[in-house]
Structure 1
């Protein structure tokens, strides 16, 4: 009898410990917080710049982020560059980049961690090696945004040098169009667009890709599926080589009815 009672007590203790472990492992519902820093604070052309984000949740460092990347582009240019970041220490992810030319630039971090996706755009200035000022500054600087950080207003920019088109939009939606690196006629190719508004992913929107070959009147449409918050993709098969126009249509509620055109070259 005593042995039975002792065994029962051990079993209950193990069950209690297991329950406690499960409670401790329950994911937090609190959002993931991200803070950006640049070193040096006044970058110089020809010298390496360290981009760092500190990722936390409930004040504790997040070391298991699924993806951390920095998107970089010069003010007024369409070509963007994505560089991956690596975990340096508790909650801090870093990457380095050297800019050959002085001028005004933007960095947008992309952090995917624990079912959250954070992205925010910030302007920064790269000075000439001799200490000279760049010829122009991003709009955020001109508007007097405090401490050089993003003012929170979405801006018009494109991804990919030959893919962008100068079609302005007024709804405040920011487009990041990402076609496949190489497009081949009569083969299925992926089209992806990342949408943000006020520096937050634009989720649960209705997105369609309209596309047609240069000189042709017939337009085709394909609905895009949301693969993660604010990211929409679809597969298309373009029937012949040449230049195509892709018009990205975005609708949400009664407030957003927007579109933007891009040019694609198909081999």
Structure 2
């Protein structure tokens, strides 16, 4: 009888341990990916119109109203300067922002959605036409013909090649001197996540000759993280290096460490 009780107790303990391990594994299962659906209104824009950028954010088909950050980045084709405007939650997972488009031409807009440990971004082209009866002024960007596929290098300064990489650099908030800090970069190519790339962060202060390098790890499709420690305060340059197949690209970003 005593042996039977011991055997039953042992089996019960093993069963409880197995259940606990299974529950622990379930608890650490990653959540479903966050999805984003972008629209802009009106679809046919005339110079002077106000466009509404909108993105609906969902997870498992349910609206996400607690996104950490939603913003829209837009620029005119051929211009290096990009404008970024924050989005406001309208409810039911819909975030919007408005912008008046004063000049005709070809434009691009990126939505950036950071929510529940996911980051989504995608580039969309759009066109602003002249007002009826007006002609473009000198130096105006020509409006493409219907069906044209304009392109814009939102990527690197440096290597000139046909492979355009789009970057979204996200350093941690409140970076402190001599403290390990997370740097994150999201990479896109042809509006798809650039995964399985070799990515490095190179950084240096001001005109310092010594540069430091840190390997980045891909933590999600197209998302690369690295831990960097800035030894002293000052203005730093962080160069993101990307290699995959024939892609050899880089882009510089500025950081001020206090």
TM-score of Structure 1 vs Structure 2, range by shorter chain: 0.5 to 0.7
Question: In the alignment, which residue of structure 1 is the partner of 2:141?
Answer: 136
Change beyond 3 A, Cα 1:198–1:133: farther
SS of match in other structure, 1:136? coil
Contact 1:109–1:120 (8 Å) recurs in 2: yes
Please, which runs of 5 or more residues in structure 2 have no aligned partner? 1-28
- Per the TM alignment, residue 121 of structure 1 is displaced from its structure 2 partner at its CA by 0.7
Question: In the alignment, which residue of structure 1 is the partner of 2:75?
Answer: 73
Q: Measure, in 2, the Cα distance between the counterparts of 1:143 and 1:233.
A: 43
The reply on whether 1:173 has 2:165 as its aligned counterpart is yes
The reply on whether 1:64 has 2:65 as its aligned counterpart is yes
Contact 1:157–1:176 (8 Å) recurs in 2: no
Contact 1:191–1:236 (8 Å) recurs in 2: no
Q: Measure, in 1, the Cα distance between the counterparts of 2:229 and 2:135.
A: 46
Q: Measure, in 1, the Cα distance between the counterparts of 2:102 and 2:34.
A: 34
Change beyond 3 A, Cα 1:221–1:127: same
Question: In the alignment, which residue of structure 2 is the partner of 1:262?
Answer: 252
The reply on whether 1:249 has 2:249 as its aligned counterpart is no
Q: Measure, in 2, the Cα distance between the counterparts of 1:55 and 1:30.
A: 13
Larger displacement relative to structure 2 (224-233 or 190-199)? 224-233
Contact 1:211–1:246 (8 Å) recurs in 2: yes
Q: Measure, in 2, the Cα distance between the counterparts of 1:53 and 1:42.
A: 18
Question: In the alignment, which residue of structure 2 is the partner of 1:194?
Answer: 186
Change beyond 3 A, Cα 1:233–1:157: farther
Please, which runs of 5 or more residues in structure 1 have no aligned partner? 1-26, 159-163
Q: Residues 140-162 of structure 1, C-alpha deviation per residue, up to 9 Å, x if partnerless?
A: x56925xxxx88x8x5215xxxx
> Aligned-pair RMSD on alpha carbons?
4.4
| 1:220 equivalent among 202, 209, 212 | 212
Change beyond 3 A, Cα 1:88–1:222: same
Q: Residues 184-240 of structure 1, C-alpha deviation per residue, up to 9 Å, x if partnerless?
A: 9x7778754321123233345432122456766543212335565424354352768
TM-score, normalised to structure 2's length? 0.61
The count of residues paired between Structure 1 and Structure 2 equals 223
Q: Measure, in 2, the Cα distance between the counterparts of 1:166 and 1:143.
A: 32
Contact 1:156–1:169 (8 Å) recurs in 2: no
The reply on whether 1:235 has 2:228 as its aligned counterpart is yes
Change beyond 3 A, Cα 1:265–1:44: same
Contact 1:65–1:112 (8 Å) recurs in 2: no
Q: Measure, in 2, the Cα distance between the counterparts of 1:103 and 1:183.
A: 39
Q: Residues 26-54 of structure 1, C-alpha deviation per residue, up to 9 Å, x if partnerless?
A: x9987655432222222344442111123
TM-score, normalised to structure 1's length? 0.60
Change beyond 3 A, Cα 1:29–1:173: same
Question: In the alignment, which residue of structure 1 is the partner of 2:110?
Answer: 108
Q: Measure, in 2, the Cα distance between the counterparts of 1:169 and 1:98.
A: 34
Contact 2:169–2:185 (8 Å) recurs in 1: yes
SS of match in other structure, 2:45? coil
